[in-house]
Chains A and B, each alone.
Chain A
């Protein structure tokens, strides 16, 4: 249930992410009471409005705005405003990090208070598959970084290739996780270690899934030529930062659950 709610929250954030559009300026004008109350997005026929998430610098002068001052439009009048979305993502990742910190703290506490750890009857975890998975995930971060480097050199095609490889590596990680789950000798409620194991890796796996979906979404948007360039590539960069985050969390998780 908690997961569900969290999923909703992330869904909401995902939605919010999509909505971080070029300016959502209310088009209601004080001078025309008949204008719509809801701030309608700029009309579709403008080439700048169909493409979401693309703008680094959003030029309000090129979108439909406050009709009241339409006659006085000038560059100085509606100054360009910078794109804060990447900074917002970093702030969000602080919160995400803290959820994992809470779970890690609880895990360490259980480890210290149970009379025997791992609880009696827990088989030792094998390290081969998870180790391979770890190498996979860490490498995928490097691959992802190559995608970012590529787009910053305006190589959209190269970026797409690296993104695709990252998505595949991420999916492989998830497959590996599922394989491990189905071949473990303990279940969710077997004992406290087992419960911790599944909840921690499961929560992380959920985040990897979201990361893979984000990469797929970015790939999907990139199919239009010119959508991403060295000047506007927020989507790629955001997916990259998120992917690195997921990777770092895994490194800590792997250390705590498998090595410690």
Chain B
């Protein structure tokens, strides 16, 4: 009994759908999801994989099927049927992709919102206190003294954030904010400090842990404000929301931890921010994801996500270590030392080589 083609089509459609549904969720293509944000992104990817697998199987299937079924038979030199179009079919294959892409867009918008992409506070977060105004860099000071035009009254949030970060002495050691003026954010012309802010449920509250990250050719340096910790290996605790404030000292770098699914450019002259909440313990790697020179491939740093107790213990160890070296170094007159030598006792236990610091200060 010959099976009608419509039944074949139905069966193929069912098989295709099942295969897509299965593969889209079992593709094994992504690494572990180590933050809350990563879980959301993975959900989006799985959905896109399901749709993609379906489309792929459909198109390739029709292609290969046609190539065989509709081959020219030997000796047949006639033309085929003069089919030039079919309006309902064309409407269908315009509408269905349109609906699919609209659906993916809406889902993406939702995920982007959930991970904090629209957090308004991310852009307007810097505290407007007296100290940060005094510490403003080149622009406003010189403007007040030299030029006829009054200084801009719009807050320069990059400048404020930079100043705030530089109030931490450890961060001030590794950044060269005095050499690079901080640009204003100008959303209207599409140039701002890239930012992923707080998730909507955490919006408006400062993050529980702040880490300042500085990218330079070719290393990442992490400083924990108010603790004096400077390290080449980032530790973060599970369950506490972390805020990374980052900038670059020389060229554009990018902060990327694959398991976090978060990436942001670190641009000299801007302060980028990411907020995320780690959820899975493990040893990961922070990778530089923007070409920064010949040793771009070597620019990586370990990232450790650990339970609260382990994290607190690590912090204590770092503080103790820095105190010990501090005690040892007190007898030395800092003025006799070059910046590298001066910093060496503080940094040798923390995985930072003197050469790296040399680059910071060149």
Contact between A and B in the complex (any CB pair below 8 Å): yes
Chain A interfacial positions (CB closer than 8 Å to B)? 105, 108-109, 112-122, 124
Chain A residue, CB-CB nearest to B137: A115
A121 touches B184 (CB 8 A): no
* B64 proximity list for chain A (CB < 8 A): none
**Once the chains bind, are A120 and B181 in contact (CB under 8 Å)?**
no
- Our pick among A105, A113, A116, A124 for the contact of B143 (Cβ within 8 Å) is A116
Are B149 and A115 closer than 8 Å at their CB atoms? no
**Given known A-B contacts A115-B159, A121-B142, A108 and B189 have beta carbons under 8 A apart:** yes
* Nearest-Cβ distance from residue A194 to partner chain B, whole angstroms: 13
Are A113 and B146 in contact, CB atoms less than 8 angstroms apart?
no
What class of interface size applies to chain B in its complex with A? 20 to 34
Give which listed residue, B148, B152, B191, contacts A115 with CB less than 8 A.
Answer: B152
Q: Using CB atoms, name the residue of chain B closest to A112.
A: B186
| A120 / chain B contacts, CB cutoff of 8 Å | 138-139, 142-143, 146-147
Contacts of B149 in A (CB 8 A): 116-118
Per DSSP, chain A at the interface is loop
CB-CB nearest 6 A-B residue pairs: A112-B186, A115-B139, A120-B142, A109-B189, A116-B143, A120-B143
Q: A116-B142, A120-B142 are in contact. List 16 more A-B contacts (CB 8 A).
A: A109-B191, A112-B188, A113-B185, A113-B186, A113-B189, A114-B184, A115-B139, A115-B140, A115-B152, A115-B183, A115-B184, A118-B147, A118-B149, A120-B146, A121-B142, A121-B147
Q: In the assembled complex, how far is the CB of residue B272 from the closest CB belonging to chain A, in whole angstroms? A: 15
B residues within 8 A CB of A118?
147, 149
Q: How far is B143's CA from A118's CA once the two chains are assembled, in angstroms?
A: 9
B264: CB under 8 A from chain A? no
A202 to B142, CA, bound (A): 29
A113 CB contact (under 8 Å) in B142, B147, B151, B183: B183
Chain B residues with CB under 8 A of A117? 149, 152
Report the Cα distance A108→B182, complex, angstroms: 18
Judging by beta carbons under 8 Å apart, are B140 and A113 in contact? no
In the complex, what's the smallest C-beta–C-beta distance from B273 to chain A, in angstroms? 18
Chain A: minimal CB distance from B180 (Å): 12
Chain B residues closer than 8 Å to A121, beta-carbon distance = 142, 146-147
Q: How far is the CA of A105 from the CA of B189 in the complex (A)?
A: 8
By the criterion CB–CB under 8 Å, are B184 and A112 in contact? yes
- Chain B residues engaging chain A, CB cutoff 8 angstroms: 138-140, 142-143, 146-149, 151-152, 156, 159, 181-186, 188-191
Contacts of A119 in B (CB 8 A): 139
With CB as the reference atom, state the residue of chain A lying closest to B147: A120
CA distance A118 to B149 in the complex (A): 8
Q: Given that A108-B189, A109-B186 are contacting pairs, would A115 and B181 also be in contact in the complex, using a CB cutoff of 8 Å?
A: yes
Given contacts A117-B152, A120-B139, A120-B142, contact A112 B147 (CB under 8 A): no
User: Closest CB-CB distance, A258 to chain B, in whole Å?
Assistant: 14
Q: Give Cα A117–Cα B186 distance, bound, in whole angstroms.
A: 13
Q: What's the minimum C-beta distance from B263 to chain A, rounded to whole angstroms?
A: 22
B139 contacts A112, C-beta separation under 8 Å: no
User: Would you call A112 and B156 a contact (CB within 8 A)?
Assistant: no
Q: In the complex, what distance in Å separates the CA atom of A109 from the CA atom of B185?
A: 10
A-B contact pairs, 26 of them (CB 8 A): A105-B189, A109-B189, A109-B190, A112-B188, A113-B183, A113-B184, A114-B139, A115-B138, A115-B139, A115-B156, A115-B181, A115-B184, A116-B139, A116-B142, A116-B143, A116-B147, A116-B151, A117-B149, A118-B147, A120-B138, A120-B139, A120-B142, A120-B146, A120-B147, A121-B146, A121-B147
Closest residue on chain B to residue A105 by CB atoms = B189
Separation of A246 and B147 alpha carbons in the complex (Å): 33
A186 to B: closest C-beta gap in Å? 12
Residue of A nearest to B185 (CB): A113
